[in-house]
Chain A
């Protein structure tokens, strides 16, 4: 922000001279690839989704059968869609109210830099790096009623094996368990980084004042990492909205379509059935939800920083 700024801001004689300058050449050469890729494969498809959602279309030829908001009406009148919304909200609630406190508690236990803590952090973070699809498949073995770990546990308790993933009551809870297993380490890592940046002097001062361990946590550490908790909550919400990979190997949306999330619903009822318009309508609704979450998050962070 020193004199470099004055170089940048030097007024040029004309737009043409500006473009031919080293600065202009850099802008014209280095920026377009990103703009082009992003526009073609991110922005345009989003606009297309809004457009296609107004047509009944199987994806072949061009969309001509304009149906107005009929696709949205169909989605909103579909019981399975609402079940997928409910499931997504369950994942969201579990992420926010079980996973985040768990991650925070663990972070408080192991944020200090010791070799043992480093090892624990590494282990807890490991599931995050594994492919969702592989994690889901491993857990589908764990939950398998015939040969899985769960069945062995049931047998040792003298009970009949339960096919957890085929049971309407248990299947989705099993999915949320896998979600916690997969992602708590990610949130823990965010908290660990934040806790490490809290000045040690503050903790010392609190202790000298006679604060107990939990009081230090409650009144010093947690308030000071508020921003990290906000970021983590934001990721948890956005992540819940797009849950897909884990569900496919576990239940594939079954039994009787009871474990769909919004994205598996979009996939099963839009894409695999060639209902591009219908699926796009689901995509638009999902987009609106994500935008709503972002606006709410921005609003909250702005309010906090005031």
Chain B
């Protein structure tokens, strides 16, 4: 009896560990690779470094260009989060709280962004951004990226707002509280979980975005870290250890952030997925 139960349990554990190796293997190779000399990297790409050389990591940490890339990404991501939260929550509040002629139609219009790939309109978007004179600026990334994230954000907000107790609004309305004031005073403060979810989502999307900055940003001063990383890769074509150190330093904050915020990420994912 115990034997018959033990075998499937061991098989399950074995499968899970194989998948863990598959997932973490490349990541640990990258982390350790940044400590190895190129010679050692060539001879033994996996395994612990025989000597922990910190020079490749410290060279990056002392490079103002590296911090510039991270700073640009941070400014763009935070601006995107703020703009997304304000604009999407406001629109979702109107759809959830107010009935008016054309509301369903406008909502379907705003949700249409859920279905098609960002890349379909990338060329005209480039032209548009250029014609607005925004090319090679933070706004060239912030505005389109916020606009494309609106559909999902509005959907998440609207679903949440609709679950807030209706009696609250009735009471406030009788007391003479208008719609806009109610939004600021009650809806937003009661919605911190969904604000966190949408905010974390918008942040991760923006932090990782590559195609949009690639198309609308030219000068190195404004490079986000993914652009900087590709540039770095081009310059150190044969020095994989430096490139791996660069990758490690950029994904470490992402991993820390992920572990801290995973609750919200998963909530947004499953909320959006199940209701979408």
Do they bind each other? yes
Are A22 and B126 closer than 8 Å at their CB atoms?
Answer: no
A31 to chain B, nearest CB (A): 5
Are A291 and B116 closer than 8 Å at their CB atoms?
Answer: yes
Is A9 in contact with chain B by the CB < 8 A criterion? yes
Given contacts A7-B170, A22-B178, A131-B226, contact A48 B124 (CB under 8 A): yes
Cα A291 to Cα B114 in complex, Å, equals 11
Among A30, A151, A263, A286, which residue has its beta carbon within 8 angstroms of that of B91? A30
Are A131 and B180 closer than 8 Å at their CB atoms?
Answer: no
Interface residues of A in 1-44 (CB under 8 A from B): 1-5, 7-9, 22-23, 25-27, 29-31, 33-35, 37-38, 40-44
Q: Chain B 227-264, CB within 8 Å of chain A: the 1/0 string?
A: 00110010000001001100100110011001100100
**What residues of B have a CB within 8 angstroms of the CB of A48 in the complex?**
121, 124, 127-128
Given contacts A31-B91, A193-B274, A263-B119, contact A129 B243 (CB under 8 A): no
Are B144 and A291 closer than 8 Å at their CB atoms?
Answer: no
**What residues of A have a CB within 8 angstroms of the CB of B230 in the complex?**
133, 248-249
Are A122 and B262 closer than 8 Å at their CB atoms?
Answer: yes
**What residues of A have a CB within 8 angstroms of the CB of B90 in the complex?**
29-31, 33-34
Given contacts A142-B26, A248-B210, A291-B115, contact A38 B147 (CB under 8 A): yes
Are A26 and B98 closer than 8 Å at their CB atoms?
Answer: yes
Interface residues of B in 61-112 (CB under 8 A from A): 86-88, 90-91, 93-94, 97-100, 106, 109-110, 112
Cα A24 to Cα B26 in complex, Å, equals 56
Interface residues of A in 143-171 (CB under 8 A from B): 144, 146-149, 151-152
Is B44 in contact with chain A by the CB < 8 A criterion? yes
Total count of chain B residues near the partner, CB < 8 A: 95
Cα A126 to Cα B26 in complex, Å, equals 12
**What residues of A have a CB within 8 angstroms of the CB of B173 in the complex?**
7
**What residues of B have a CB within 8 angstroms of the CB of A174 in the complex?**
none
**What residues of B have a CB within 8 angstroms of the CB of A249 in the complex?**
230, 233
Among A149, A181, A271, A291, which residue has its beta carbon within 8 angstroms of that of B126? A271
Which of B27-35, B51-59, B191-199 binds A? B27-35
Interface SS of chain A: helix, strand, loop or mixed? Answer: helix
Are B166 and A130 closer than 8 Å at their CB atoms?
Answer: no
Is B24 in contact with chain A by the CB < 8 A criterion? yes
Given contacts A31-B94, A45-B124, A137-B233, contact A120 B16 (CB under 8 A): yes
Are B121 and A49 closer than 8 Å at their CB atoms?
Answer: yes
Chain B: CB-nearest residue to A297: B115
B149 to chain A, nearest CB (A): 10
**What residues of B have a CB within 8 angstroms of the CB of A5 in the complex?**
99
Are A238 and B274 closer than 8 Å at their CB atoms?
Answer: no
Interface residues of B in 176-190 (CB under 8 A from A): 178-180, 183
A57 to chain B, nearest CB (A): 9
Is B42 in contact with chain A by the CB < 8 A criterion? yes
A246 to chain B, nearest CB (A): 10
Cα A41 to Cα B120 in complex, Å, equals 12
Are B183 and A149 closer than 8 Å at their CB atoms?
Answer: no
**What residues of A have a CB within 8 angstroms of the CB of B211 in the complex?**
244-245, 263, 267
Are B12 and A109 closer than 8 Å at their CB atoms?
Answer: yes
Is B123 in contact with chain A by the CB < 8 A criterion? yes
Cα A21 to Cα B98 in complex, Å, equals 12
Chain A: CB-nearest residue to B16: A120
Which of A74-82, A89-97, A201-209, A276-284 binds B? A276-284
Q: Chain A 268-304, CB within 8 Å of chain B: the 1/0 string?
A: 0011000010011001101100110110000000000
Given contacts A33-B90, A249-B230, contact A152 B44 (CB under 8 A): yes
Given contacts A287-B120, A291-B115, contact A228 B274 (CB under 8 A): yes
Is A227 in contact with chain B by the CB < 8 A criterion? yes
Are A124 and B19 closer than 8 Å at their CB atoms?
Answer: yes
**What residues of A have a CB within 8 angstroms of the CB of B30 in the complex?**
138, 141
Among B29, B41, B127, which residue has its beta carbon within 8 angstroms of that of A138? B29
Given contacts A141-B30, A245-B210, A291-B116, contact A134 B121 (CB under 8 A): no
Are A141 and B180 closer than 8 Å at their CB atoms?
Answer: no
**What residues of B have a CB within 8 angstroms of the CB of A151 in the complex?**
45
Are A147 and B274 closer than 8 Å at their CB atoms?
Answer: no
Q: Lowest 9 CB-CB distances: which A-B pairs, in order?
A: A242-B117, A22-B178, A48-B124, A26-B179, A34-B91, A41-B147, A45-B121, A30-B90, A131-B208
12 pairs of residues in contact across A and B, judged by CB atoms under 8 Å: A8-B98, A25-B178, A35-B91, A37-B143, A46-B116, A52-B123, A126-B258, A152-B46, A266-B119, A280-B124, A287-B116, A287-B121
7 extra interchain contacts, Cβ-Cβ under 8 A, other than A189-B269, A189-B270?
A26-B94, A30-B183, A34-B88, A38-B109, A129-B254, A242-B119, A271-B123
